């Protein structure tokens, strides 16, 4: 691959291809509606069509692309409705994750990784986006919940959550950290009901804070026809 760090080794090539495409879509380098030409893309990523074709079904399951038989794959055009749907499901899953995590702590599990993640979210690497640390914290809660099926569903949501966070970088970082701290402490003290309620409140606050920003930036409807080519030359 031309532009990914050589450090990421060990995992399958198709997963790295999927991640590279995910990044291109989230960052907007592959705009909604783009056609993903297999040969073109595999040449650009410097892999054969095999790992590419293994990556596409993964991205389709996550809803980043949709494939039509014999016609190819197209980048999903994210709309305001997609954003609402992300909040809808976070509202159902994150309280459950918080509840599980708190129960695990009450049962003897150590919340030290979670507390470390919270501390890291506060101090943070200066240059780093707040959005990344944000998702990391939620992933840490899911990890602590130790619930395999929840982990799978969350990882399906994760890409979309990253997409949403990147669209709203100006959200009050300090207030956000305080919300997180409250939630993390409820978990670390092993209080499942409180953790569940705080997680729900956290999601709903995020929805309320984000949607006004988003409604101006997102198309309300995907462009009906005429898919744009992948590369518009410099």
Segment lying near DNA (by CB under 7 A), choices 30-38, 88-96, 165-173, 182-190: 30-38
Contact partner at residue 66 from its own copies, DNA, none, CB < 5 to 8 Å by partner kind: none
Q: What is the x/- site pattern for its own copies, positions 173-212, by CB under 8 A?
A: ----------------------------------------
Is position 53 an interface residue for its own copies (rule: CB under 8 A)?
yes
Residues 6+ apart with CB under 8 A from 198: 98, 179, 182, 183, 186
Number of residues that bind its own copies (CB under 8 A): 31
Residues numbered 112-151 forming contacts with its own copies, rule: CB under 8 A:
147-150
Enumerate residues 158-217 that contact DNA by CB under 7 A: none
With CB cut-offs between 5 and 8 Å by kind, which of its own copies, DNA, none does residue 37 bind? DNA
Among 2, 7, 69, 212, binds DNA (CB under 7 A): 69
Contact call for residue 34 and DNA (CB under 7 A)? no
Binding site for DNA (CB under 7 A): 12-14, 35-39, 47-51, 53, 67, 69-72
């Amino acid at each position: 691959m031309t532009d990914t760090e050589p450090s990421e080794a060990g995992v399958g090539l198709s997963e790295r291809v999927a991640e590279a495409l995910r990044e291109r879509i989230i960052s907007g380098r592959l705009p909604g509606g783009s056609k993903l030409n297999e040969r073109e893309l595999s040449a650009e990523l410097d892999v054969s069509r095999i790992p590419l074709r293994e990556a596409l079904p993964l991205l389709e399951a996550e809803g980043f692309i949709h494939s039509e038989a014999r016609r190819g794959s197209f980048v999903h055009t994210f709309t305001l409705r997609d954003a609402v749907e992300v909040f809808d499901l976070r509202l159902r899953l994150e309280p459950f994750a918080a509840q599980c995590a708190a129960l695990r702590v009450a049962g003897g599990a150590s919340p030290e990784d979670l507390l470390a993640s919270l501390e890291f979210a506060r101090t943070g690497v200066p240059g780093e986006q707040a959005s990344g640390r944000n998702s990391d914290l939620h992933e840490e809660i899911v990890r602590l919940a130790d619930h395999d099926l929840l982990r799978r569903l969350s990882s399906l949501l994760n890409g979309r959550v990253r997409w949403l966070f990147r669209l709203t970088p100006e959200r009050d970082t300090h207030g956000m950290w305080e919300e997180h701290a409250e939630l993390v402490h409820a978990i670390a003290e092993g209080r499942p009901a409180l953790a569940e309620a705080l997680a729900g409140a956290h999601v709903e606050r995020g929805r309320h804070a984000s949607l006004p920003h988003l409604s101006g930036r997102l198309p309300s409807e995907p462009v009906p026809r005429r898919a744009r080519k992948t590369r518009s030359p410099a």
